[in-house]
Structure 1
Amino acid sequence: MRVVVQRVSEASVDVINELGTLDPTFESQQIGPGFMILVGVTDEDGDQQIAWLTHKILNLRVFEDEQGKMNRSIQDIGGEILSISQFTLFADVRKGNRPSFIKAGKPEHADITWIKFNEALRSGGVPVKEGRFGAHMRVGLVNDGPVTIIIDTEIDMPGSVH
């Protein structure tokens, strides 16, 4: 799994339908202070990657304490998460000008893995709102800091082969 974690003061997502307008079947999702997370999944990702990544994100100390140091977690501040499935995080741009997405997980697997990941985050006591898997979305955020961190289980997770 590959995620882009952005510390935000607020974030939102809407789904756009085939007419280019807001999809009335999707209720706009909004959060206050917390993380907006873009989530990419490969076919090799499963429970082990979900557990490690969930622990890392819930305990990531990037929120300021009373002394202004990044020393508090999302759990410490009572923050929220907006999770957006993002297969394009696995774009391969080494050849040509059109990205290849062959490393991205197949939709059936990626959707289930993303849902399990969001549930794991919720089980840590953090409210999680979501976009819609596979949809055209309009995402808005105010990056606070800015603080943006990329975590890749293939590279960062202990015991990973890279």
Structure 2
Amino acid sequence: MTGKTHLIGGIAATTVITSFTNYDPVIFIASGAVGGLIPDICHGGSKIGRKFPLLSNIVNMIFGHRTITHSLLFLIGIGVVLSMFTSNSTLIAGLIIGIASHLLLDATTKRGIKLLYPVNFTVRFPITIKTGGTLENIVLLLLTLVTIYYGKDIVIPFLTF
């Protein structure tokens, strides 16, 4: 999946969940957007990899692409590490949900993900989507529509005077 799909995936997931929780929507959705991009730190050409090239190169040299950063180990590890530095559950939950959305989206690609890393087992859905292809653009559109639908309940109260 491309960066824009991962970005809107994190936003869509947290926007939907915001409708059912008391999380601060601004922090929750913003952290979901960031979380949607974080797993691709292992790829120098990704949106986040271009922002942090040194870190991206180090992670890629040690682990390669779509291994540890696309695993349950990474997802849990990020949650544990973040909880040592902040007690802001809204921020932590948003990042975790954004990362989870990224893993789910990449599991729909032909390459899949190493969800159980370090176990060398690839997880992918039976029907896959070509990165940057027409089906990905349809997924992007659907995620955008979901964001708009659930986001209206968040934005409209701010617009009424």
Of Structure 1 and Structure 2, the greater helix share is in: 2
Q: RCO (CA 8 Å, sep 6+): is it higher in 1 or 2?
A: 1
Of Structure 1 and Structure 2, the greater strand share is in: 1
Whether TM-score is above 0.5 comes out as: no
